[in-house]
Amino acid sequence: MEFQPPRGTRDFLPEDMIKRQYITDTIKGVFEKWGFDPLETPAFEDWGLLSAKGGQDIKNEIYYFKDKSDRELGLRFDFTVPFARILGSNPSLVKPFRRYQIGPVWRYDRPGSGRYREFWQADIDIAGASTGESDALCIAAACDAMKSLGFTEFFVRVNNRKIIEAFLISVGLKEKVIDVMRSIDKLEKIGEKKVSDELNEKKIESQKIKKILEFIKIKNLADAKKLVEGYVDGREGVKELEVILDFIESLGFSEFVKFDISLVRGLEYYTGPVFEINAGINVSVGGGGRYDNMIESFGGKPTPATGISVGIDRIVLAMEEKKLFRAEKTKTKVYIAAVSESCTNEIISLSRKFISSNIPTEFNTMRRNLRKELEYANVKGIPFVVVIGENEVKSKKAKLRNMASGEEKEFSIENPESIIKILGKN
């Protein structure tokens, strides 16, 4: 029998994992630099918790199952719900509570191009602070992560749902706000014509559809402000957005952030500011927003919260398209090849010195001839090779070969400090 990974999942071989590990390590370092602490939650949660956010319909969208005690459970489909559970059940946690979480989540979507049922996310959230500075901090940290990964043409779209809600109410669509926003959320995917057709199918009058399409083309926050200033929520939404944009400018990331009135984000739990990260190739690689009511809905005290999530899988695709990865097939830096078995003690001794100096090292364990040893190192992409034979054992000297350039450098086997410095820099 030949077994394959379950549909919608993948194996990641070392060359793939090196890329993914580079991304997660970089993002982790940035998040910690911005004052976020690590948090981990179970892969599966109580079904009551998961359904509280999405209702019974969500059972078709996630991995739902019963355990041997007939308890209803489900695999986590994001990190926001477990985060809200923790805040709801631990009211004594010091506020603001800032955390990051990186790992896999699962959704029972139909697999397709770039879509999988198991995928990785990297989240940051701040709970307990209602000010726009918290939203701006999350956006700034995400921008810093994108820059650290090598992106230069990315941007973050920002908006406040209160603004567009106020506008929809102003044109007489108070009862259809959510339905209209769901259609607007599809604008980038399906285009203006299909959004218009969808609104028409929802029994929205043509004159109102025209006003909606004109409104979501507004590029300036000041212009949007004029249309909603007669509504408390509208004025509040504009003010919140102004605070966020001002603080982002103070943090030095305003060049990557732009106002986009058409951004609404489809999830209904967002209560105000929303944001979405575009990698610069018209591909969304993350997003988030403020969700001030979720923790209370899960049994906790009223607690404002905001956060942003980055999709690791989408970041990989974007970096591959932009050629931002180094050509690295292995983490091993040096391979020690043996000419004969009589050199085993010297090889082990040298490898221990390299390893104790934090130099990723591999050595011959298959007793192959030298030609095959060099072929192995070359195919695997190991950048440096040391060959040890009887002559090297007698002279106590060996040569470090750069596999790319062919350059060789002699060193003392007993005191390889000079070579360790070279390896440490590469």
DSSP 159-217: EEHHHHHHHHHHTT-GGGHHHHHHHHTTHHHHHHHHHHHHHHHTT--HHHHHHHHHHTT
Cβ neighbours of 341 (radius 10 Å): 9
> In the chain, what are the domains?
14-321 (3.30.930.10), 334-425 (3.40.50.800)
Q: Comparing C-alpha atoms, which of 122, 102, 105 is closest to residue 310?
A: 122
- The H-or-E segment that residue 231 falls in is none
- Walk across the sheet containing 64-66 and list its strands: 44-46, 72-75, 64-66
**Tens digit of pLDDT at every position of the chain (426 positions):** 789 999 999 999 999 999 999 999 999 999 999 999 999 999 999 999 998 865 556 778 899 999 999 999 999 999 999 999 999 999 999 999 999 999 999 999 887 767 899 999 999 999 999 999 999 999 999 999 999 999 999 999 999 999 999 999 998 988 888 888 888 888 888 888 998 988 988 888 999 999 999 998 998 999 999 999 889 999 999 999 999 999 999 999 999 999 999 898 876 789 999 999 999 877 899 999 999 999 998 889 999 999 999 999 999 999 999 999 988 889 999 999 988 888 888 999 999 999 999 999 999 888 788 899 999 999 999 999 999 999 999 999 999 999 989 999 999 999 999 989 988 887
State the residue for tokens 């060049």.
255
Distance CA 220, CA 118 (A): 39
Cβ(120)–Cβ(311) below 8 Å: yes
How far is the C-alpha of 106 from the C-alpha of 119, rounded, in Å?
7
